[in-house]
Structure 1
Amino acid sequence: MTTQQVPGRRDPRLDRSRSAILSAAVALLSEGGVRAVTIEAVTSRSGVARSTLYRHFPNNTELLAAAFRELLPPLDPPAGGTPRERLLRLVRAQAGQIEGAPAMAALVWTAAIGLDGGGAPDEGERGRLAALREHVVDTYRRPFDAVLADCLPGEEDVDFGAARLVGPLLFNALILRRPSDAAFCARLVDDFLARA
């Protein structure tokens, strides 16, 4: 018996298989980090065939990126207001996201700089991590790039600026285990702008 598709309607099986794949990838990422999310592990855990997985995600990098987005959705650059107001809203949103999932936030940011928690990667894994880093940087740094471009003079390093803002938030959450409240975020932004 074949299933007939109604024009303009999406097959619900596609949504179910994508959801199962993402759930498995997210669980593996949370449990074992980047190295745990392999095609074999995801298909085994999700019960979805490899060919179906590849229909949704053409490669492991796309699968990992989707799992990151599920666990820690990227922020949108704030619109409207002064550069300080926009930067403060962005820093507060990032602080809230980090406090909501501190270990995952650390994983995302360390993936962005190339630390995956394991030993020396082989050539294939280096390529996969490089592609993942590129995706993470593009997705999670974009809001900072947009806001910092308005806050930093001329040739100031946007990468260093983002690190100066996000680093203390991660330090508070992961090392000191204290929240980055509104007062802390305002102090962080004001200190950053005073030195820019």
Structure 2
Amino acid sequence: MPEQPAAPRRDPRLDRSRTAILAAAVALLSEGGVRAVTIEAVTARSGVARSTLYRHFTTGTELLAAAFRELLPALPPAPEGGAPRDRLLHLVRAHADQFEQAPALAAVVWMTAIGKSADLPSDAEERTRLATLREHVIEHYRAPFEEVLTACLPGATLSGHEVELAAAQLAGPLLFNTLVTRRASDARFCARLVDDFLAGRARTTGEETARAQTPAT
């Protein structure tokens, strides 16, 4: 039987250039925020040619999104099969750990990226770039909450806005602790956050059910 041809070996220079590009982009993002991460600045800092950069990232927004993933990596998935409250608590504690470990400036950059549309610059190209990044970051953080909240709130149909609101209610206090009060979001704090959130949802659901069952006068 003829031997199968060996798979072509990947050029190690590509791995080195990608690593250098991402390191430069992350450093610029940490130091100067979103607007500091330009193709010109990244190529100058990394020493990688512009043509090589475009072999890895087709647009500046794609490069910026990759830098965000490096700076604030994806949260670990909640364990499957556990109680809904435990899964939600696991996710909230993962957020707390990430905010504790990430530099404060990284959290500020994260907040800037998902800021209100009204805060975007007047330049149309820059506005489109940041809006695209904002959508990417929101989806990056919204998806884990959507999965767990669906399990925690059986029978509830959550819109994208409701998932984002729930994520803000749960992750917002953690970010506030990290940036403002400098208090640790420990296990007790996270547990109370989750329990208060679930209790509030239960009250809201009960009130909506009661209104629906009240005959119109």
- What TM-score do you get using the length of structure 2 for normalisation? 0.82
Q: Which residue among 177, 182, 187 is the counterpart of 2:187?
A: 182
Number of residue equivalences = 190
Match of 1:104 in 2: 106
Separation in 2, partners of 1:105, 1:141: 16
Q: Percent identity?
A: 65
**Based on CA coordinates, which of the two structures has the bigger radius of gyration?**
2
1:136: how far off?
0.8
Unaligned runs of 5+ residues in structure 2 are: 1-5, 202-217
Match of 2:78 in 1: 78
Match of 1:11 in 2: 11
1:113: how far off?
3.5
Contact 2:30 2:109 in 1 (8 A): no
Separation in 2, partners of 1:21, 1:48: 7
Q: For residue 77 of structure 2, what is the amino acid of its counterpart?
A: P
What secondary structure is seen at the aligned counterpart in 2 of 1:113?
Answer: coil
Q: For residue 44 of structure 1, what is the amino acid of its counterpart?
A: A
Match of 2:213 in 1: none
Contact 2:26 2:71 in 1 (8 A): yes
Match of 2:196 in 1: 191
Q: Which residue among 164, 173, 181 is the counterpart of 1:168?
A: 173
1:130: how far off?
1.2
Match of 1:3 in 2: none
What secondary structure is seen at the aligned counterpart in 1 of 2:183?
Answer: coil
Q: For residue 181 of structure 2, what is the amino acid of its counterpart?
A: L
Contact 2:22 2:67 in 1 (8 A): yes
Unaligned runs of 5+ residues in structure 1 are: 1-5
Runs of 4+ aligned structure 1 residues displaced above 4 Å come to none
Separation in 2, partners of 1:127, 1:142: 23
- What TM-score do you get using the length of structure 1 for normalisation? 0.90
